[in-house]
Amino acid sequence: MNIHEYQAKEILSAFGIPVPRGRVALTSDQVERAAKEMGGRCVVKAQIYAGGRGKGGGVKLVHHPEQAQELAKELFGRKLVTPQTGPEGLRVRRILVEEAVEIAREFYLSITLDRESSRYCLIASAEGGVEIEEVAQKSPEKIHVLSIDPFTGLRPYQARKIALALGLKGSVCEDCVELILNLYRACLEKDCFLVEINPLVVTKTGWLMAMDAKINFDDNAMFRHREYPDMLDYSQLDTLEINAGKYDLSYIKLQGNIGCMVNGAGLAMATLDVLHEFGGEPANFLDVGGGATREKVAEAFKIILQDGDVKGVFVNIFGGIMRCDVIAQGIIEAAGEVHCTLPIVVRMDGSKVEEGKQLLLESGLNVQIGENLGDGAERIVKMLG
Ligand code: ADP
Ligand code: MG
């Protein structure tokens, strides 16, 4: 789960990491007032669930409160496109107004879960800032990586080694050691998948500060943090994804015209591949998971139909834990409720499969049964052709 920069900075600050003075604003008038409070000269930062804002015009230094207000009006009025958002861009609903800091040097610092080693991994570079992706690609030797042993945790000597590798000396080096240890503590206590400070800066007056912050919570630990869902900014999510999330379904939007309902990520991948083989293009796929109920299947089906690109639906379900007649009932219920006349192909297998097929064929829906995955894919492509 993502949160905004200003929320991430609040968390880091609570763990003793210095951040610039700032205020989050929801309207351009609030931006103006916040800019006044910062002394006029300040940095206006669009809050979206993506980075690369500097390059996309979402982070700008302004010199007067009026200038901040003008810029805010422009940002609130449109979707911000950055190298990380895709061509659609993301709508700006919140703006962080921050004191303008005189920066001497920019570093990169992050801790993330490395799935391969099942450990937290600390990544640091003396060449931080907006070009970090290029540094990683062109000069990987400038990126320092440390795999953290979960039993010993991050030790101060390891943090010091990183601080020295960044070229820091004296008291700034010691500040950096403390900051790295605090970052690790925040990462553990908040169950993060990623905490990233890019750039971590040394100011012209010689202080360390987190100038940007990104936190991604580990969704698996959500049950331990009841406050996390309240931190979500729904304006940054696809509405269908939000609905799917409510029913614990995973929905992924794609570019074609066939809506796909599957159970399990592996089956989803196979379904997309086989559809492609027969010349079909998936509009989305919705994974209903293992033990879905009739209600859940019905919701899933309705979410798929809400996608305007969907011209036909392909259901590919292996009823191991799920019973096929239950799936069929869910589909019939949902299709009836939204008066669906679109072509539907259902391929299912598992317990009570004959009962399921029977129910569907007697339902009056525009439905065909796929005998196997290939046959089902071919049918839906033909029905749309
Ligand atoms: P993004 O990573 O999305 O481009 P950042 O928050 O990192 O956004 O901002 C981009 C750049 O703007 C930073 O690398 C830094 O150089 C500069 N910057 C950001 N915030 C401030 C600030 N408060 N004062 C001065 N410069 C800033
Ligand atoms: Mg940044």
pLDDT tens, position by position, 123-134: 999 998 888 888
Annotation marks residue 99 as catalytic: no
Mean of the per-residue pLDDT values for the chain? Answer: 93
The reply to whether 212 and 288 lie within a common domain is no
Tell me, yes or no, whether 3 lies in a domain.
Answer: no
Instruction: Name which residue sits closest to atom 20 of ligand 1, judged by CA.
Output: 211
CB distance 241 to 251 below 8 Å: yes
The reply to whether 31 and 75 lie within a common domain is yes
Q: What is the number of domains present in the chain?
A: 3
Annotation marks residue 108 as catalytic: yes
Tell me, yes or no, whether 6 lies in a domain.
Answer: no
The reply to whether 185 and 249 lie within a common domain is no
Mutate to test the pocket of ligand 1, among 45, 59, 105 (most ligand atoms within 8 A of CB): 59
CATH of the domain at 58: 3.30.1490.20
CATH of the domain at 367: 3.40.50.261
Closest atom of ligand 1 to CA, residue 84: 3
The reply to whether 107 and 192 lie within a common domain is yes
The reply to whether 33 and 65 lie within a common domain is yes
Q: Which of 136, 108, 111 is nearest to 121 (CA)?
A: 111
Burial of residue 288 (number of CB atoms within 10 Å: 0-12, 13-18, 19+): buried
- Domain limit, last residue, from 189, 210, 228: 228
Phi-psi region of 140 (alpha: psi -120 to 50; beta: other; left: phi over 0): alpha
Strands 344-350 and 312-319 come out as: parallel
Tell me, yes or no, whether 56 lies in a domain.
Answer: yes
CB distance 253 to 240 below 8 Å: yes
| Domain membership of residue 130 as a residue range | 103-228
The reply to whether 166 and 271 lie within a common domain is no
The pTM of the full predicted model, rounded to 2 decimals, is: 0.79
Question: Percentage of the chain with pLDDT > 70?
Answer: 99
Residue 321 has pLDDT above 80, yes or no: no
The reply to whether 254 and 218 lie within a common domain is no
* Nearest ligand for residue 42 CA: 1
pLDDT tens, position by position, 266-289: 899 999 999 999 999 999 999 988
Q: What is the pLDDT, as a whole number, of residue 264?
A: 85
SS3 93: coil
The reply to whether 304 and 182 lie within a common domain is no
Q: How far is the CA of 186 from the centre of ligand 1 (A)?
A: 22
The reply to whether 116 and 143 lie within a common domain is yes
